[in-house]
Amino acid sequence: MPEIELGVPRGVVESLPEEGETAEQDMRRAITGIQSRINEEIEGAEPAEAAEVVADAVERMEAQASTYHEFVPELRAWGQSPIYAIAWRNLYVELIGQLYEHEWLGDDLDRERNFRLVEDGIRLSDL
């Protein structure tokens, strides 16, 4: 099974302020950690099993993106710049997109995520 490869999206890095070098390094470390965790867990797995692992990672990234998204209006209300919260939110959204770009994974990942929606009692017609 091929390994998952993730990278720092150029648009996210370019959105950081000039003094955002620390944030960029933190993002690179986070991506390396996510990538290595996923690859460790899918090593030797069947495609359906790998899709389960990646679906778990996608759900965690969606939760993280949602958390950062909720920070944006709060930071603005306090007169602070939300640029870092926006950058981290966008990073997680971009990483999810990168996971779907892996051709060998896309269909199984869609199938697993749809299965989880139905299993949780949510019908696709409710979306």
**Tokens found for residue 87:** 């950058």
* Confidence label for 36 from pLDDT (cuts 50, 70 and 90): very high
Contact 50, 42 (CB under 8 A): yes
Question: Where would I find the H helices in the chain?
Answer: 10-15, 21-42, 47-77, 83-100, 103-119
- The confidence band for 116, taking pLDDT boundaries of 50, 70 and 90, is confident
What mean pLDDT do residues 54-77 have?
Answer: 94
* Tokens linked to 98: 């990168």
Q: What is the distance, to the nearest Å, from the Cα of residue 23 to the centroid of all Cα atoms in its chain?
A: 17
Mean pLDDT of the chain: 88
Q: How confident is the model at residue 29 (pLDDT cuts 50, 70, 90)?
A: very high
